[in-house]
Amino acid sequence: MDTGGPISTRDNIQGESFRDRMATIDEKGKRNWVYAQRPNGKFYSIRSYVSWVFFVIFFSLPFVNVNGRPLFLFNIPEAKFIIFGHVFWPQDFFIFGLTMITFIVFIILFTAAFGRLFCGWVCPQTIFMEMLFRKLEYLIEGDAAAQKILKRSAWTTNKIFKKTSKHVAFFLLSFVIANFFLSYIIGINQLEKIISEPISEHLGGLTSILIFSGVFYGVYAFFREQACTVVCPYGRLQGVLLDRNSMIVAYDYKRGEPRGKFKKNPAGETGDCIDCFQCVKVCPTSIDIRNGTQMECVGCTACIDACDKMMKGVNRPAGLIRYASENGIANGEKLRYTGRMKFYTTLLILLTGLLTILLLSRKDVDGTVIRTAGMLYQECGTDSVSNLYNIKIINKTIADIPLTIRLESTPGRIIEAEGRSISVPKEGQGKGSFFIVLPNNIITERKLKLKLGLYEGNKRITTLKTNFMGPIYRPGQGGKPTGKGNEH
Ligand code: SF4
Ligand code: SF4
């Protein structure tokens, strides 16, 4: 399935201009299992090193704490996120939303410039699949040819042993990954409790681990490349994100065509492609990169390594398949910083600036005060009016804070309906209700704007705004307020 449009080169090549199904699905709609040959070459070596860095980061980050907090936590059930040691709550949703928008713009810019570099080099799915599970599979079952033979062979002791070993190893690895994955959601301390305390106390946590393990095992043992070619939304967006100037893994059809077998064709009569199919045999998504940029290409560079090796073997220059843009291949142009990229860069700088301002002005203690729903005001004797309020406070610090509320810049009193101060636990929420009582003579509008200060001792932590509803005081009417309320 070509992405079509401007970046497809397939029309140029030997009349194979269209494919109406996934490379991994046959004409009857059945799955073509991919037996990818083990890549070997410069890019594969570098990718292996990158994967080791990734594994070190992935398996060590949950243990890193900053000021008693994990460096990263994505606690979706409790809607609590910790990023670089800073806690974000639902009240920070605008920061979260803006971060998402900034991230999407970054993805668009990055993809417009560098194609699927992310997928091939640092996407966790690719790294776990190609650098962990696939390597383990090569170790147990052998390279692609041996795997095919094993698949077709009868169920001998050898086959049962190899298949069982592989699936047990795959499940154990998935179990380990699931544990670490969960630690990014609930934190490593909670995970340790699930592991060390009686199962009956953590049935939910244990169930989550087993579900995650099952999903990872299913993905890496069976679903595999389909995660990239069928499920991943980023992969499916490539057709609109890439253009003729994007850097992609590309076949140089100008140099390679007309392709022909090396031995049969003397030099000069054919292009540099010797039609050895090595680039196809190593491809984890089973596509032929010579047919142009395709949705299934994850940019893994395995075909570059395979082709460079063949070129070396026939004494031709490397780079028949290489990182290049479509314009680079067609017209010999160098990679360019295009107007589209400049636009996205400007947008990204603006969004990042705005995000920085929001992050810097973010409060450690924040809250909301609203008048209790369904209640008007209450008259307190003949000279005052009260309103009932609910307050919700978020404490993003790592210390418990007892808070008191004071009316700022308005004469009046606060009567606490529940307790004398509101205790807000560290990284938690506190709530309460209270009355504000104002003298009639200061109620000059139906909705009077009030400022409330939240104090820890005598230190003001933050200021909140709310409205006070009451009858408007009219001195000309003998000092009596007008309007209806309840007696308090
Ligand atoms: S075409 Fe090449 S870069 Fe793309 S997925 Fe296949 S081997 Fe990897
Ligand atoms: S590996 Fe290179 S030479 Fe061989 S078929 Fe692919 S593009 Fe042609």
Per-position DSSP letters for 344-361, written without gaps between them: HHHHHHHHHHHHHHHHHT
How far is Cα 383 from Cα 412, in angstroms, rounded to an integer?
12
Q: Which helix (H) or strand (E) holds 486?
A: strand 486-487
Considering just the CA atoms, what is the radius of gyration of the chain in Å?
Answer: 32
Atom of ligand 1 nearest to the CA of 299: 3
* Tokens describing residue 303: 């075909």
147 close to ligand 1 (CB < 6 Angstrom): no
- Ligand 1 centroid to Cα of residue 304, in Å, is 8
**Could you identify the atom of ligand 1 that is nearest to the CA of residue 302?**
7
Ligand 1 lined by 287 (C-beta under 6 Å): yes
Candidates 211, 272, 257; CA nearest to 14 is 257
Long-range contacts of 456-460 (CB under 8 A, 24+ apart): 456/401, 456/402, 456/403, 456/404
Would the CB of 275 count as within 6 Å of ligand 2?
Answer: yes
Q: Which of 399, 390, 428, 461 is nearest to 79 (CA)?
A: 428
Helices (H), 23-123: 42-60, 93-114, 117-121
Q: What is the DSSP letter of 394?
A: E
Strands 80-83 and 72-75: antiparallel
- List C-alpha distances in Å: 215 to 211, 220, 435: 6, 9, 52
> What pTM, to 2 d.p., does this model score?
0.77
Kindly state if the Cβ of 320 falls inside 6 Å of ligand 2. yes
pLDDT at 21: 75
Atom of ligand 2 nearest to the CA of 272: 3
300 lines ligand 1 (CB under 6 A): yes
Cα of first residue to Cα of last residue in the chain, in angstroms, is 74
C-alpha closest to that of 283 among 9, 17, 34: 34
Q: What is the DSSP code (8-state) at residue 473?
A: B
> In this structure, are residues 487 and 378 in contact, taking their beta carbons and an 8 Å threshold?
yes
Measuring from atom 6 of ligand 2, which residue has the nearest CA? 279
Q: Confirm or reject: Cβ of 310 under 6 Å from ligand 2.
A: yes
Cβ neighbours of residue 451 closer than 8 Å, sequence gap 6 or more: 407, 408, 409, 410, 463, 464, 465
Q: Which ligand is nearest to the CA of 284?
A: 1
Query: Tokens 């606690």 map to which residue?
Result: 75
CA 311, CA 145: separation in Å to the nearest integer?
23
Ligand 2 binding pocket mutation candidate from 274, 305, 311 (most atoms within 8 A of CB): 274
Q: What is each CA distance from 394 to 143, 181, 195, 198, 460, in whole angstroms?
A: 56, 27, 31, 33, 15
Please list the ranges in the chain whose pLDDT falls under 70.
1-19, 263-268, 416-420, 475-488
Residue located nearest, by CA, to atom 7 of ligand 2: 273
Query: Given this model, what pLDDT does residue 482 score?
Result: 52
Whether 274 lines ligand 2, by a CB cut-off of 6 Å, is yes
Question: What is d(CA 15, CA 393) in angstroms, rounded to the nearest whole number?
Answer: 67
State the ligand closest to the CA atom of 250: 1
Give which of 488, 337, 366 is closest to 429, Cα–Cα: 366
Measured over the CA atoms of residue 170, residue 171, residue 174 and residue 175, the dihedral's sign is: negative
* 173-177: Cβ within 8 A, 24+ apart: 173/132, 173/133, 173/136, 173/220, 174/213, 174/214, 174/216, 174/217, 174/220, 175/209, 175/213, 177/128, 177/212, 177/213, 177/216
Residue 403 CB–ligand 1 contact under 6 Å: no
Cis ω on the peptide bond leading into residue 258 (within 30° of 0)?
yes
The DSSP 8-state label assigned to residue 415 in this structure reads E
Q: Single out the residue of 291, 332, 256, 432 nearest to residue 1, CA to CA.
A: 291
Other beta carbons within 10 angstroms of residue 285's beta carbon come to: 22
Contact 364, 416 (CB under 8 A): no
Write down the pLDDT at residue 42.
Answer: 96
Of 243, 403, 424, residue with least CA distance to 339: 243
Do residues 309 and 281 lie in contact, with contact meaning Cβ atoms separated by under 8 Å?
A: no
